[in-house]
Amino acid sequence: MKQVLTVDDSASVRQMVSFTLRNAGYDVTEAADGRQGLEKAKGQKFELVITDLNMPVMGGIEMITGMRQLPGTPLRPS
């Protein structure tokens, strides 16, 4: 099953995205901000990351930048 990480500070947006993806057959992990998303990415490989850009604690761009530094990450700059 494909692993997806969804990161958003809005609980309702996370729930909507997760519900839609789970119904489409994906395994979804949620995080409430970039720091939580980065921590979850350290322990699990994700095929897709869906993130908000503006969040408290750590935004989406900073999180993706951090994820690109993780060993074995499939994330590459476009």
pTM value is: 0.88
Q: Under a CB-based contact definition with an 8 Å cutoff, are residues 18 and 57 in contact?
A: no
User: pLDDT in tens for each of the 78 residues of the chain?
Assistant: 899 999 999 999 999 999 999 999 999 999 999 999 999 999 898 999 999 999 999 999 999 999 999 887 765 555
Measured in degrees and rounded to the nearest 5, phi and psi for residue 53 equal -90, -45
Q: Which amino acid is at 23?
A: N
Count the domains in the chain. 1
Domain harbouring 33, CATH code: 3.40.50.2300
Give CA–CA dist 33/8, Å, rounded: 6
Q: In this predicted structure, what is the pLDDT of residue 77? A: 54
H runs (alpha helix) in 24-76: 34-43, 60-68
pLDDT at 73: 73
Which amino acid is located at 33 in the chain? D
In a domain, 75, yes or no: no
User: Does residue 74 belong to any structural domain of this protein?
Assistant: no
Residue 76 forms part of a structural domain: no
> Is 49 inside any structural domain?
yes
Q: Phi and psi dihedrals of 11, rounded to 5?
A: -60, -40
